Amino acid sequence: MSSHTRSRTVLISGASIAGPALAYWLDRHGFDVTLVEKAPRLRGGGYPVDIRGTAMDVVDRMGLVPRLRKAHVDTRRLSFVDDAGATIAAVAPAELTAGVTEDDLEIPRGELADGLYELIRDRVEILFSDSIASLTEHPGHVDVLLRSGARRSVDLVVGADGLHSHTRGLVLGPEEQYHHYIGYCFAGFTLPARADLSREAVVWNAPGRAAVLYATAPGAPVHGFLAFRRDEPPFAAFRDPAAQRDLVADTFAGDPWEVRGLLAAMREADDLFFDVVSQIRLPAWHRGRVALVGDAAHAPSFLSGQGSSLALVGAYVLAGELATRPDHTAAFTAYEAALRGFVRSNQDYATTGGAALLPRTAEELARRNEALTNPVPARPAGADRALTTTVELPDYPGAR
Ligand SMILES: Cc1cc2nc3c(=O)[nH]c(=O)nc-3n(C[C@H](O)[C@H](O)[C@H](O)COP(=O)(O)OP(=O)(O)OC[C@H]3O[C@@H](n4cnc5c(N)ncnc54)[C@H](O)[C@@H]3O)c2cc1C
């Protein structure tokens, strides 16, 4: 634990992956932490997410690996089916995903969030159903007014509030400037377990559309996923779940395979997660006494499969730099310098990846199917591994 830090206070906005991970590391370095989450409780649900490469070292240093290994999905097969449900091709997921090895983990997002939350729930102040209303920065501190009317005066504020970060909007301006839309939207939700599916994903495509059933452990709920191409991001639908459901239902209306059942389940789901496939590319991840972590700083989009891993590594590094640098400006700068290249290579990969899941045109779909039905050459060992491991974790005192 660093001697600089004992009395420093940090308020974090957002309790999903980046926020609780940062809270954990800051607490471990001796900071006083308040975590503010807009939702009334920890949000479950979401597609399984990957923890790979350097991020595995982070969860290992948190002592989380045994717990997470129990939740590991271990997807064995990805099947691509035609309109009648007949299999066009079935492949091992590693053939389509960059840099994955047997040591990596694939965890339902809600279970990862749960695991992180368990580590901090009795150690830091957590305020649900609340969010930042305004921030006023002074020379030595930040005054935070919360929507509930509560006030906190803290040394630093960190936005861990995701792709559409409210904190970022307060300090760096409207999202449109930094938002790079990759051209797709998606809806994820859970469905009842299916006896015929486990540890596998089944994918149906039409040009510009994908419907996926993603089954984890036998008997566990199945994740439904509907993704589609759209020229403009539907900004109006972000705050309107009914509009999101209508948009998805209209887009997939009349589609074959199991799409009708998926749409019905989406209408019923209480954990619908709808978003754009987009990236955040900012010139700086901090201003004054406010910094950003995870998707708020540098969302890579789900096509990278690296959003949670980048969030975990970012949280570790940001906390470590704050604990060991003499002032927050030096710490924020060092955090950013350590991670920029890692983030950039994953963001660049994501804009070229994804073709297998979401072919845009009939020609691309035919080419994809042709490629899948021919034997896939083994990936050269280590070729993509750099994407998940190019950053080395510094050994901050107290973080081992
Ligand atoms: C319920 C849920 C389901 C998800 N499902 C998927 C999925 O299926 N596929 C996928 O690729 N990614 C999904 N994600 C996003 C994924 O978790 C992130 O890309 C990645 O893990 C990085 O996490 P993060 O903590 O930076 O951001 P996020 O996981 O987006 O978390 C942001 C957190 O901030 C909270 N928040 C937002 N605004 C405010 C505010 N104004 N004040 C306080 N809190 C606020 C949110 O409720 C959320 O808990 C999901 C996220 C959530 C919250």
Secondary structure of the chain as H, E, C letters: CCCCCCCCEEEEECCCCHHHHHHHHHHHCCCEEEEECCCCCCCCCCCEEEECCHHHHHHHHCCCHHHHHHHCCCCCEEEEECCCCCEEEEECHHHCCCCCCCCCEEEEHHHHHHHHHHHHCCCCEEECCCCEEEEEECCCCEEEEECCCCEEEECEEEECCCCCCHHHHHHHCCHHHCEEEEEEEEEEEEECCCCCCCCEEEEEEECCEEEEEEECCCCCCEEEEEEEECCCCCHHHHHCHHHHHHHHHHHHCCCCCCHHHHHHHHHHCCCCEEEEEEEECCCCCEECCEEECCHHHHCCCHHHCCHHHHHHHHHHHHHHHHHHCCCHHHHHHHHHHHHHHHHHHHHHHHHHCCCCCCCCCHHHHHHHHHHHHCCCCCCCCCCCHHHHHCCCCCCCCCCC
Q: How far is the CA of 363 from the centre of ligand 1 (A)?
A: 34
CA of 162 from ligand 1 middle (Å) equals 5
Which residue has the CA at smallest separation from atom 21 of ligand 1? 308
Residue nearest ligand 1's atom 6 by CA:
46
Mutation to probe ligand 1, out of 161, 186, 213, 316 (largest number of atoms < 8 A from CB): 161
How does pLDDT run along the chain (400 residues), one tens digit per residue? 444 444 599 999 999 999 999 999 999 999 999 999 999 999 987 788 999 999 999 999 999 999 999 999 888 899 999 999 999 999 887 776 655 667 789 998 999 999 999 999 999 999 999 999 999 999 999 999 999 999 999 999 999 999 999 999 999 999 989 999 999 999 999 999 999 999 999 999 999 999 999 998 899 889 999 999 999 888 788 778 899 999 999 999 999 999 999 999 999 998 899 999 999 999 999 999 999 999 999 999 988 889 999 999 999 999 999 999 989 999 999 999 999 999 999 999 887 756 678 899 999 999 989 988 876 554 554 556 667 777 889 999 877 6
Cα 390 to ligand 1 centre (Å): 24
Q: Hey, what's the torsion of the CAs at 210, 265, 307, 315, to 10 degrees?
A: 180
Q: Cα of 70 to ligand 1 centre, how many Å?
A: 23
pLDDT score for 391: 82
- What's the gap in Å between 40 CA and the centre of ligand 1? 14
**All domains of the chain, ordered by start, with CATH?**
9-72+104-179+279-358 (3.50.50.60)
From 16, 25, 165, 358, the mutation candidate for ligand 1 (largest count of ligand atoms within 8 A of CB) is: 16
Atom 5, ligand 1: which residue's CA is nearest? 46
Taking the centre of ligand 1 as the mean of its atom positions, its distance from the CA of residue 161, in whole angstroms, is 7
| Neighbour tally for 185: CB within 10 Å | 22
Res 3: pLDDT: 41
Distance 138 CA to ligand 1 centre (A): 29
Residues in a beta bridge with 126: 35
Q: Which residues are near ligand 1 (CB < 6 Å)?
A: 13-19, 36-39, 43, 45-47, 49, 109, 131, 160-163, 166, 188, 273, 294-296, 302, 307-308, 311
Pocket test for ligand 1, best of 58, 109, 117, 303 (most atoms within 8 A of CB): 109
- Ligand 1 centre distance from Cα of residue 59 (Å): 18
The atom of ligand 1 lying closest to the CA of 14 is 34
Confidence at residue 354, expressed as pLDDT on a 0 to 100 scale: 61
Locate the ligand 1 atom nearest the alpha carbon of residue 39 and give its number: 47
Residue 378: strand pairing partners: none
Q: Which atom from ligand 1 is nearest to the alpha carbon of 310?
A: 22
- Assign residue 183 a region (left: φ > 0; alpha: ψ between -120 and 50; beta: otherwise): left
Buried b (16+ CB within 10 A) or exposed e, 243-261: ebbebbeebbeebebbbee
Distance 174 CA to ligand 1 centre (A): 18
Which among 295, 286, 303 has a CA at the least distance from the CA of 352? 303
Supply the pLDDT for residue 4. 46
Atom of ligand 1 nearest to the CA of 188: 8
| Residues in a beta bridge with 125 | 34
Q: Are 163 and 273 in contact (CB under 8 A)?
A: no
Please tell me the predicted confidence (pLDDT) of residue 1.
42
Give strand pairing partners of 154.
Answer: 142
Atom 2 of ligand 1, nearest CA residue? 46
